[in-house]
Structure 1
Amino acid sequence: MKRRRTAISRVLASLAAFLVLLYVAGAPADAETRILGLGDSLMAGYGLPPGESFPDQLQRALAAEGIEAEVVNAGVSGDTSAGGRARLDWALASDPHAVILELGANDGLRGLDPAETRRNLDAILTTVGERGVPVLLAGMLAPPNLGQEYGTEFETVFRELAEKHDALFYPFFLDGVAGDASLNLADGIHPTADGVAVIVERIMPLVKRLLTRATAGK
């Protein structure tokens, strides 16, 4: 059963990468600033109506402020940091000018070794950095039932990697949303469309700084 789940996850990741490639192939050659949203179900928009995912809402919010930017949704539900690392080259085929990295939530939910999460995210940040692409790293908190020691070690991974790679850092992607039943789906984990709107509003200042870095690097 475990092997079957792993095989299914690989197929889903391959399909997501293929869709990103199709999207890029159909995009105009002179596309505006492109932000890659690399993440899991929180990025993919699990359980949300079409057009309400984080990338969709972020792109609209930027447009409302007169900022032309295309936000590519490279989120795969159920993905761990290892899954994101495995499909990184495919995701980068969109040739982004900036990356929002949101991975690790499923590592925490599964109680995976924070050292493994660190290695995977470090590898992703290194690869993106070698391309000269600025990154906004979104942090994550571990479930409280895993204990304080695990939670502290897990949380530290994101902060230290942001410092190491000079990435912009948003400490907790679900800030202002986690624990609020009115902003989450029935599972209590994934945000509603209104919850996503809160995330977009709170992270927007850092996204603007990310775009400033991206523009400087063009």
Structure 2
Amino acid sequence: MAKITLAAFGDSLTEGYGLPAYSSLPAQLERWLLEEGFHVEINNFGLSGETSADGLFRLADVIESGPDAAYIEFGANDCFQLMDPEQTKANLARMVEAFQEAGIPVLLLGFKPMNFTPQSYSSEFKKIFAEVADKFKVPLYPDLTKGIGEKPEYYQPDGVHPNSEGVTVMVSNMFPEFKAFLESIPE
């Protein structure tokens, strides 16, 4: 199997805010994939505090790095700032489209609003990831924080960023989707 480079493109949940580098989502995911026999290198393009609009400014650099595949993980900060879900959706759509135009397969990671998010906003926000995935025919892992929910034992003291154990649960839950995604990439 040829080596696959995967660009992990996102915000603090990808960067690994507050965690040692080896505990970040990309680092843990890479270890799981290597143990499963994938010849993969994951490059961490996560940057804390970024919204989907901020991500658009860095998109060209990520594409120019020449990855074989990418995941897109934006939306948490958009949600916390109650940004217009239609704008977030448009930003995500532009990211997916740009990767596709460059011939780079994409996996989209969705974010479900936390309990403190206003219900009317939350219901609109939840739809955007599936709509983008459907429009561009890309795989979607709909809930990045599945399995950790809002359980305090899986979070750092800020209650927003997962701790190392929380990231491990996230990786465990999303692993089958990543495995299928990488297996779908032509050599």
TM range (shorter): over 0.9
Q: Which one of the candidate residues 85, 88, 111 is aligned to 1:117?
A: 88
SS in 2 for 1:160: helix
| Structure 1 residue 155: Cα displacement | 0.8
Give RMSD over aligned pairs.
Answer: 1.3
Q: Which one of the candidate residues 48, 55, 78 is aligned to 1:84?
A: 55
Question: Do 2:63 and 2:102's aligned partners in 1 also have CA atoms closer than 8 Å?
Answer: no
| Structure 1 residue 177: Cα displacement | 1.2
Change (3 A) 1:60 1:146: closer
| Structure 1 residue 193: Cα displacement | 0.8
Question: Match for 2:70: what amino acid?
Answer: V
Q: Which one of the candidate residues 120, 125, 137 is aligned to 1:149?
A: 120
Change (3 A) 1:200 1:143: closer
Change (3 A) 1:48 1:148: same
In the alignment, structure 2 segments of 5+ residues that lack a partner are none
- Residues 1:105 and 2:71 are matched in the alignment: no
- Residues 1:175 and 2:146 are matched in the alignment: yes
Question: Match for 2:91: what amino acid?
Answer: N
- After superposition, where does 1:1-218 map in structure 2 within 5 Å? 32-214=3-185, 216=186, 218=187
In the superposition, the TM-score normalised over structure 2's length comes to 0.95
Question: Do 1:78 and 1:106's aligned partners in 2 also have CA atoms closer than 8 Å?
Answer: yes
SS in 2 for 1:87: helix
SS in 1 for 2:126: helix
SS in 1 for 2:6: strand
Whole-Å separation in 1 of the counterparts to 2:178 and 2:68: 12
SS in 2 for 1:191: coil
Question: Match for 1:128: what amino acid?
Answer: F
SS in 1 for 2:103: coil
**Identity within the alignment, %:** 38
Runs of 4 or more consecutive aligned structure 1 residues displaced over 4 Å after TM superposition: none
Question: Do 1:134 and 1:213's aligned partners in 2 also have CA atoms closer than 8 Å?
Answer: no
SS in 2 for 1:132: coil
Question: Match for 2:52: what amino acid?
Answer: S
In the superposition, the TM-score normalised over structure 1's length comes to 0.82
Name the larger-Rg structure.
1
| Structure 1 residue 91: Cα displacement | 1.2
Equivalenced residue count is 186
